[in-house]
Amino acid sequence: MTLRPIGLDNSVVGLVHEAAPVALLFRDSWHQISQIVFVPKISDKQALEALRIAASHIRRYAVHRQRANGIFIIETTGEVSAETSRAYLEDGFVDDDILVLDQQELERIIQKIGVEVIHAVAFSFFDVLQIVLCDENLAQLSIDCVPGRDLGYSCMSELTFKVEPPAQFSAWHEVGQPGQGNVLDLYIVPAYHPCMSGKTSGGLINGDTDALIRGEAIRSVHAPAEARLSQKSFSFGTWSQVKHPYRAAGQEITIDVSRTKILSQSGIEELKTFLLAVLGLENTYLAVSGGFRGPHEYPSNVARQAGLRIGTYNGEVRGSEGFCAWAYNVLEQERELEGAYVPRWFKEEGWLAAYGEEAKLLNP
């Protein structure tokens, strides 16, 4: 069996067998292979031959590799040449020590030097969506997906999901389990926060960068536009300046996804888990670590002006005092204070009075 390379564009080369695609080799800006994507339903023999061709290319054409492993201790040339890169794919040469390795070992070595190996189980994102929306919980909702712009790096694209009312996409400020009684007892927690009813986090967003922590197929999740303040934020992330101290919700939500990783089984499971969490289904919720910053003055300045004595072990502010002043007033307006957990230090140290009328301005 012989695989033949065909050029799809400057960054992608296809490996085909008798006109049937076997794998896509994605190349970086130096024309080095950065991703190997196997199409669905190919044989183990075809996958192994494609891996051998890719591995030989990775070893022979190296401009800038940050890692090396085992037989891939590579002398980088620093010379960028699209023609040389293509020629090494077309000549079909495979080193003897690569020929003796099985598929599992080849994949392990290749991935150790930073080249991703992806086994697609779906041919397109449309197929992925069909699989995910067959979930019995999601199938009951009217969910639409609108492709967005190509982000221009690492096969990334924007996707916007829309849902019909009364359903909403929502994410919750991760405030942690209350009542620990120590220096980490930082937040006021309302009774309606999902952590208070035993729900578990189905995903965690970095509120300062929008990155989905441990996300592989889904790299970033952006706050719903209707949940954001109109004023510009000085933070990179979209979760910093939001309208409510605990929950950001809306009928639309935009994510950044890998067009290749989303086609794998793990990518499909990741998308399904995300949608269930962001819609509050299966006893899960989507959490945001950080972000949710009200436009209040930093607590050390407030403490100095008000002459407060702070009860931490070193006498320094916790950093969450201004947030708690904002949250207290919001919960008071919502008539939700009665069931909320309020740390003892918040009232004992006099933070609500110290923030005074400023805190009342924090709820837009």
Q: CA nearest 138: which of 278, 287, 286?
A: 278
SS3 335: coil
- Give the burial string for 252-277 (b: 16+ CB within 10 Å, else e): bbbbbbbbbbbbbeebbebbbbbbbb
Q: Is the backbone peptide bond immediately before 166 cis, with ω within 30 degrees of 0?
A: yes
Which tens digits make up the pLDDT trace of 92-123?
889 899 999 999 999 999 998 889 999 999 99
The CA distance from 315 to 302, in Å, is: 14
pLDDT at 3 over 80: no
The CA distance from 317 to 345, in Å, is: 11
Which tens digits make up the pLDDT trace of 26-63?
998 889 999 999 999 999 999 999 999 999 999 888 88
pLDDT of residue 216: 94
Domain boundaries, the chain: 4-119, 125-178+198-289, 299-360
Which tens digits make up the pLDDT trace of 271-316?
999 999 999 999 999 999 999 987 678 888 888 888 888 877 678 8
How much of the chain, in percent, has pLDDT values that exceed 90? 59
Q: What's this model's pTM, rounded to 2 decimal places? A: 0.88
Write phi, then psi, for 52 (nearest 5 degrees). -65, -45
In sequence order, which residues have a C-beta less than 8 Å from that of residue 189 and are 6 or more positions away?
175, 178, 195, 196, 340, 341
The CA distance from 200 to 193, in Å, is: 11
In sequence order, which residues have a C-beta less than 8 Å from that of residue 12 and are 6 or more positions away?
24, 25, 26, 27
Cα dihedral across residues 255, 256, 259, 265: positive or negative = negative
- E-strand ranges in 207-271 read 218-222, 247-250, 252-258
CB 259 within 8 A of CB 159: no
Return the structure tokens found at 28: 């970086």
